[in-house]
């Protein structure tokens, strides 16, 4: 009772494992198909962050940033203190030529990556 165990959680772990093993294509293809809406908030946020990481690895930064912002809306404290969003936003800010976009700068400030 009150656990996230089941086929959806297994699918989310499959996506995370694919990312850890460097199989970005599987994570990017299968990740968006997983409906995590019935899972606890923590699992939904983590899954959204993994899909964002997969999109970022494919240079789909706008989609990745949109997912990160969705995750932040769901669980701001989880996004603020989890390593994946901090790693992604730091990388995105460093890759920018010139000033980061308003959305990227905002999340970078909230994560205290830039002042």
* The residue count for the chain: 115
Does residue 58 form part of some domain? yes
| CATH number of domain containing 89 | 1.25.40
**How many domains are contained in the chain?**
1
| 8-34 pLDDT per residue, tens | 999 999 999 999 999 999 999 999 999
Distance between CA atoms of residues 66 and 103, nearest Å: 9
Does residue 2 form part of some domain? no
Does residue 66 form part of some domain? yes
* Segments forming the whole domain that contains residue 101: 7-110
| 48-81 pLDDT per residue, tens | 999 999 999 999 999 999 999 999 999 999 999 9
Q: What is the pTM of this model?
A: 0.92
Does residue 40 form part of some domain? yes
Does residue 36 form part of some domain? yes
Q: Residue 35: which residues within 8 A CB-CB, separation 6 or more?
A: 8
Does residue 1 form part of some domain? no
């Amino acid at each position: 009772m009150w656990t996230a165990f089941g086929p959806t959680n297994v699918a989310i772990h499959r996506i995370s494992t694919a990312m850890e093993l460097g199989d970005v294509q599987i994570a990017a293809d299968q990740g968006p198909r997983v409906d995590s809406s019935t899972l606890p908030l923590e699992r939904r946020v983590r899954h959204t962050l993994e899909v964002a990481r997969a999109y970022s690895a494919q240079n789909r930064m706008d989609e990745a940033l949109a997912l990160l912002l969705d995750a932040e809306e769901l669980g701001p404290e989880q996004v603020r203190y989890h390593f994946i969003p901090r790693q992604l936003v730091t990388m995105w800010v460093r890759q920018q030529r010139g000033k980061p976009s308003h959305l990227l700068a905002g999340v970078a400030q909230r994560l205290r990556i830039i002042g």
